[in-house]
Amino acid sequence: MKFATLPDGTKDGRLWIVSRDMTRAQPAIGAHTMQELMERWDEVEIQLEMEYEAVNNGLGGGFEPAAALAPLPRAWQWLDGSAFDSHGALMEKVFGLEGAFKPDFPFMYQGLSDRFYGPTQDVRFPTEDDLIDFEGEFGIITDAVALGTTATEARTHIRLVVQINDWSLRRIAPLEMKAGFGWVRAKPACAMAPVAVTPDELGPAWRDGRVDLALNIWWNDVKFGAANGYAMSAGFDELIAHAAYSRDLVPGTVIGSGTVSNENYREVGSSCIAERRGIEMIDDGDAKTGFMRFGDRVKMEVFDAAGDSVFGAIDQKVVKA
Amino acid sequence: MKFATLPDGTKDGRLWIVSRDMTRAQPAIGAHTMQELMERWDEVEIQLEMEYEAVNNGLGGGFEPAAALAPLPRAWQWLDGSAFDSHGALMEKVFGLEGAFKPDFPFMYQGLSDRFYGPTQDVRFPTEDDLIDFEGEFGIITDAVALGTTATEARTHIRLVVQINDWSLRRIAPLEMKAGFGWVRAKPACAMAPVAVTPDELGPAWRDGRVDLALNIWWNDVKFGAANGYAMSAGFDELIAHAAYSRDLVPGTVIGSGTVSNENYREVGSSCIAERRGIEMIDDGDAKTGFMRFGDRVKMEVFDAAGDSVFGAIDQKVVKA
C-alpha cells in the first residue's frame, strides 16, 4: 500500500491512500490520520487493502505529490541512526574526530519530531554561516513495539518505509557531538518525501530490513549522488531492537538509517555535502565544495527497477528564517 | 495557578485546576488538556484565573495528588539541560571523562517525550545490571516559542514550572555519551510530580528564571539530598533561547534543568546516586554506594517557605520490565 497525508487545516493532516502508480488518490476510510493508522494498523489493514485495490482500479481523483505534507507531519518519536559505516568514516575526517570512540552498538540519537516538513516546503535557517547541509536517508515507521522486542520480532513492526531529508548545520554539529549530548541546534526539523509505502511495495528491493535502491540527489539540478540503501551495518530491524531495549516504542515512531553512503563513494557520489568534502580532503588535501546558500535547492528521489518513483520527490529550497 | 492531569481513559488525560493548598480540584473549563492549555494559553488565561479563584474559594472536590498522571502525560518535545556545574564536574569523575570538551553553550539533549510517568507509577527496567539511578530536576513548560527568541523574550514563554525525575541507566550513559549521539537506551521515560504551577505561585522563589527552593529526595525513606535549584549556570530563559536558535519550539515543550546540584554537596546531599558516588571517589578513593535495586523507592518533594508542598510528591518504585 501507498499513503500520503494532504493538508486539511489540522496539524496532522488527512490520510489518503495513493495508487501504486501515484497518479490517483482518495481519502482513507480505515484511518483518518497517519498517526491513527499506526495505532490501529492490525484492525484497519484489511479495510485499507480493499481501498488500495479500489484506487488502483481507478477510484479517487488525481494525486499531486508536491502538494502533500510529510506522510507523518508530526511524530511522538524520531530516532535517527547512523548505519552507513562509510559515512561515519568520512564524517570523522570532516569533523577532525579520527580515533573517536566506536561503540559496539548502533549509533542513534533522538531528534526533533514535532514537525516533519512536507516534500516541497521551504526550510528556514538563521544564517548560512552555520554551514547548511542536506542528508538523504531512508526511514521506517513502526506500530507499537514493546520494550525488549528482538530484531527478529521487530520486522513485523516495520509498517511503512519513508524517505527523509535530515537537515543539518555543520558548524554546530561537531561541537554538540563533542559535548556528548547529541544534537539540538545542529538538527532542526527533517523533511519527508510525499509517499510512505509498505515494505512489500518494494518487492525484492526490501531485503534484510534494508532498502536496496539508490537514493538520487540533485543539488541545484546538478546530480550529486546515488548511493544505495542496502549498505547499512545494522538493518532497521536491529535499529528497532536497539531503541526498544529500555523503552516501549510509541506507534508512529520514525527510525532513520542515517545518511545513505557506500564504500565506492567516488563512483556513486554522496548523500550530503559534508561527505563530499571528506572525500576531497582525502583526495586533494582540502575541501573545496561549499555548503548550501539561501535560495539553493536540493532534490531527492528513489526509482524502482522499472524506473518509477517510489516515494515521490523531496524538492526543497533553503531560505533565511 | 496550579494544574494537574487526572486519568480519563485517554492518552492525554483531563486537565484539572488545583487549589493553592492542593486539597481541592475541579476539571478545567478553559482547556480540556494540558496540551490544549499550552496551545491556547493567551486565550484562556483569564477564564482559568477565575476558575482558580473559585476552587480556592471552595468549589470542586477533594484532590488526591497520588492519583494524578504527569501534568503533561506526553509532550511533543522534551529537551533536558545540564545546567548545574557541580553536577557536571562530579559526573566527569564518575564516568572517567575528566578533561572532556566543554562547550561555550548550555548542555542540552532531546529525550523521550511520548510518555511522562505519573508521580506514583512504577518504573520498568530490563535489569539492575544497567545501574539504575534517579535524577531530581526542575523543569518548565513553554507555549509557542518562535525561532530566534532571545533569553529576555523567553521569560514570558515560561508558562508552568514542574518537578521531574529523569530516570537514567548509568552503565549505558557514559558509552552513549562517548559516542556523541546523546542518550537513547540510557534515558527511558521521565516522571513528573503531580502539580504544575505558574511561576508567580513560587513568589520570591522564582528568581532569574530559576527555582530558588530545595529539592528534597529520599531513597527508601532515607533522606538523600536537598540541593537548591537556583545554582543553574544558565536559567530556563537561557535554555529556551538556546533551544530556539534554529527551531520553533512547539507549545508544550518541556525543558529540564538537569540534575539539581550545589557546590556544597557534602552538606546538602545530591539529587542522583552517581553524584554521591563521585563525592565518595573524591573523598575515599572509591565509590561505595550502590545503585537502585528492584523494589527500591525514591521520593522527591519541594516545600515552600511556609513548609507546604509546591508540586506534590514523586514517589516511585523500580520494577523489572
Distance from CA of A188 to the nearest CA of B (A): 6
Rg for chain B (alpha carbons), in Å?
Answer: 19
Please tell me whether residue A141 adopts helix, strand or coil conformation: strand
Q: Are strands A78-81 and A254-256 parallel, antiparallel or unpaired?
A: parallel
Between CA A249 and CA A147 the distance in angstroms is 7
pLDDT at A92: 87
Between CA B277 and CA B292 the distance in angstroms is 13
Angle at B267 between CA B262 and CA B268, to 5 degrees: 50
Q: Do B246 and A107 touch (CB under 8 A)?
A: no
pLDDT at A100: 81
Chain A residue whose CA is closest to B97: A180
- B 153-212: CB under 8 A from A: 169, 172, 175-186, 188-189
pLDDT at A156: 97
Size of interface A-B (CB pairs under 8 A): 138
Taking residues B147-171, report their average pLDDT.
98
pLDDT at A81: 97
- Would you say the C-alpha torsion B304, B306, B310, B315 has a positive or negative sign? positive
Between CA B136 and CA B110 the distance in angstroms is 17
Return the closest-CA partner of residue B278 out of B84, B51, B62, B52.
B84
Return the closest-CA partner of residue B311 out of B142, B135, B137.
B137
- A 47-86: CB under 8 A from B: 74, 76-77, 79, 82
Taking residues A227-242, report their average pLDDT.
98
Q: Which of B102, B184, B246 sits opposite A125 (nearest CB)?
A: B246
Taking residues A39-59, report their average pLDDT.
98
Residue B151 CA neighbour count, 13 Å, CB half = 11
Number of Cβ within 10 Å of residue A127's Cβ equals 13
Q: Provide the b/e sequence for A169-205 (b: ≥16 CB within 10 Å).
A: bbbbbbbbbbbbbbbbbbbbbbbbbbbbbbbebbeeb
Q: Do A107 and B181 touch (CB under 8 A)?
A: yes
Residue A243 CA neighbour count, 13 Å, CB half = 31
Between CA A98 and CA A248 the distance in angstroms is 34
Q: Residue ranges of the domains in chain B?
A: 1-63, 70-320
Q: Which of A74, A108, A248 sits opposite B184 (nearest CB)?
A: A108
Burial of B28 by CB count in 10 Å (0-12 exposed, 13-18 middle, 19+ buried)?
buried
pTM of the model: 0.98
Between CA A301 and CA A22 the distance in angstroms is 14
Q: Do B110 and A115 touch (CB under 8 A)?
A: no
Phi, psi of A225 (to 5 degrees): -170, 160
Q: Is residue B247 less than 8 Å (CB to CB) from chain A?
A: yes
Which residue's entry shows cell 551495518?
Answer: A233
Return the closest-CA partner of residue A198 out of A137, A140, A254.
A140
Please tell me whether residue A109 adopts helix, strand or coil conformation: strand
Q: Is residue A148 less than 8 Å (CB to CB) from chain B?
A: yes
Q: Do A103 and B175 touch (CB under 8 A)?
A: yes
Please list every residue in chain A whose beta carbon sits closer than 8 Å to the beta carbon of residue B97: 180
Between CA B247 and CA A46 the distance in angstroms is 39
pLDDT at A166: 98
Q: What is the mean pLDDT of chain A?
A: 97
Distance from CA of B305 to the nearest CA of A (A): 35
Please tell me whether residue A52 adopts helix, strand or coil conformation: helix
Q: Are strands B132-133 and A214-219 parallel, antiparallel or unpaired?
A: unpaired
> Which pLDDT tens digit goes with each residue over B10-22?
999 999 999 999 9
At the top level of CATH, the class of B70-320 is alpha beta
**Residue A6: pLDDT over 90:** yes
Angle at A219 between CA A216 and CA A225, to 5 degrees: 35
Please list every residue in chain A whose beta carbon sits closer than 8 Å to the beta carbon of residue B105: 175, 185
Q: Is residue A96 less than 8 Å (CB to CB) from chain B?
A: no
Distance from CA of B235 to the nearest CA of A (A): 17
Q: Which of B109, B124, B130 sits opposite A181 (nearest CB)?
A: B109
Between CA A261 and CA A269 the distance in angstroms is 8
In angstroms, the Cα distances linking A207 to A155, A236, B141 are 11, 10, 43
pLDDT at B100: 82
Distance from CA of B53 to the nearest CA of A (A): 33
Q: Do B181 and A243 touch (CB under 8 A)?
A: no
pLDDT at B215: 98
Longest dimension (CA), chain A: 58
Between CA A183 and CA A174 the distance in angstroms is 9
Q: What is the mean pLDDT of chain B?
A: 97
Q: Which of A109, A124, A321 sits opposite B184 (nearest CB)?
A: A109
Q: Which of B76, B180, B185 sits opposite A245 (nearest CB)?
A: B185
DSSP A196-217: EE-GGGGGGGEETTEE-SEEEE
Strand order in the sheet with B297-302: B123-125, B314-320, B297-302, B214-219, B222-228
pLDDT at A96: 84
Distance from CA of A16 to the nearest CA of B (A): 24
**Residue A294: pLDDT over 90:** yes
pLDDT at B80: 98
- A 13-32: CB under 8 A from B: none
> Which pLDDT tens digit goes with each residue over B255-275?
999 999 999 999 999 999 999
pLDDT at B5: 98
Return the closest-CA partner of residue B196 out of B174, B180, B211, B217.
B211
Chain A residue whose CA is closest to B77: A114
Q: Do A82 and B185 touch (CB under 8 A)?
A: no
Between CA B287 and CA B278 the distance in angstroms is 7
Which residue's entry shows cell 517525550?
Answer: B113
> Which pLDDT tens digit goes with each residue over B6-65?
999 999 999 999 999 999 999 999 999 999 999 999 999 999 999 999 999 999 999 999
> Which pLDDT tens digit goes with each residue over B92-122?
888 888 888 889 999 999 999 999 999 999 9
> Which pLDDT tens digit goes with each residue over A264-287?
999 999 999 999 999 999 999 999
pLDDT at B38: 98
Between CA B268 and CA B270 the distance in angstroms is 7
Taking residues B283-304, report their average pLDDT.
97
Q: Which three cell numbers stand for residue A266?
A: 567516488
Number of Cβ within 10 Å of residue B224's Cβ equals 22
% of chain B at pLDDT higher than 70: 100
Rg for chain A (alpha carbons), in Å?
Answer: 19
CB A304 within 8 A of CB A205: yes
Confidence tier at A145 by pLDDT (50, 70, 90): very high
pLDDT at B178: 92
CB B156 within 8 A of CB B198: no
Residue B135 CA neighbour count, 13 Å, CB half = 31
Between CA A239 and CA B18 the distance in angstroms is 43
pLDDT at B211: 98
Q: Helix B85-95 vs helix B273-284: angle between axes, to the nearest 10 degrees?
A: 70
pLDDT at B98: 82
Confidence tier at A101 by pLDDT (50, 70, 90): confident
pLDDT at A97: 82
